[in-house]
Structure 1
Amino acid sequence: MDKVNILGVEVSAMTHDQTINTLIDAVDNDKKKFVVTANPEIILHAYENRDYFQELSKADIITADGIGVVKGAKLLGRSIPERVTGFDLFISLLRKADQKGNSIYLLGAKEAVLNKTVTYIEEQYPNIKIVGKHNGYFDWEDPSIAKEIAGKKPDFVFVALGFPRQEKWIGKYIEQFNKGVFIGIGGSFDVLAGEVKRAPEIWQRLNLEWLYRLMKQPSRWRRMLALPRFVFKLYSYKQR
């Protein structure tokens, strides 16, 4: 698998479809995969925080979740064909799981949001087996959730704890699992539950989804400051 080193983080250069095929193949062969969907904020945080970088280093696939990562690779003279977002992977994997009758476990979000997500999946993807779920409010030092997941052996574990919690949680427990695709998908449960509206398709095609989210949630402006810092670090990194 071709990868692009961006601030020390090895980002996959696979397309969305190639990523899906790789993950489905892993499930079909009872293998284990840890997937991170990384935007510039995540890569920058890994660059500046050694502990978090160590957790990301455990991942099998780190996708470019954001046009900033794709542009960053180009700045370094490398190529990533397209962004591969957590939400798009989530939906594509649900479709595949429905076709194949796979099992899933859902971890994260508020209880009400989680229940709406479960209802949506049951209605839209009736062949999926939901073997377990838990909201995002629990004691990290309590290994009972990880033990439950290990015992139920789901094909996919969708972790919607948000950055950086979801990557840290998966990284902490990934060695306890023998199979399954574990993927952090941020606020995807909120979108599926109808609590948050995703940007219209035209905004997505123009790679302006970040701007749409900022307009809808102005409080995100502080997080957006990571982008110019990311670009500055890239220029410094390029000079090495």
Structure 2
Amino acid sequence: MEKIINTIKDNSERFVTGSILLAVVIAIGIIDNFFLVWLFLGVVFMFSFYEAMKLFGIENNSIYFWALALWIVAFFYPNPDDLFFVVAILFASALAYTREFDSKLFLPFLYPASGFLFLLALYHDFGIGSLFWLLVVVALTDIGAYFVGKMFGKREFCPTSPNKTVEGAVGGVVLATLFGTMFGLSLVDFGYAFIISLFVSVASLFGDLFESYLKRRAGVKDSGDILPGHGGFLDRVDGYLFAGPAMVVLLRGLL
């Protein structure tokens, strides 16, 4: 217990920022308006896109215009996640036609843009309840992994992120699956709620790991510094960018 108390004290700034972000998300969820959700995700998307550009080492300001244009189109298009494949086709066509097109410019549309398109599609297709379910699973995966790892972690989970432990990863997935299943019962049957929560939690874990890989490759500790105690927006949403697509695919495939 003393370990937990000390951990909370050492990360008070992180918890305060997290609480404020959670309050904003809950308020938006209660209002439950498509434009507001699109606007909120759009703001987070543009900040995350900017941070990803830096991680990928891309310096091309014109690309922000296309990112913004993509998000505006997503507001009107009935299946936002389809737009990623449209972008991929356009990039491949430009590359084939010019033979000099910088293929690296596609990377921030692969990550994080595709993940945000799936998050918008999740809300569009399955409602605000699905986003709250996602929030519960991803948040508890993160929280469980952090505290279980601090208390019982001994074995390194992966060289990509040496601070993560096997015990923490398992603890986070178990906690998220249990509570995620209970929350999911308001939307789907028990079996589906369990399967979706489990796989979404695992996807979230690897979403966090992937961003750690990008940061390690770029030689930085955080993707940004705009969120006190958390780093950048990409540091805060990394798990959702893998978990969101996983939940959309599972809900569409199982229901």
Q: What's the TM-score, normalizing by structure 2?
A: 0.25
Greater share of helix residues, 1 or 2? Answer: 2
TM-score, length basis structure 1: 0.26
Q: Which has the higher strand share?
A: 1
> Which one has the largest radius of gyration?
2
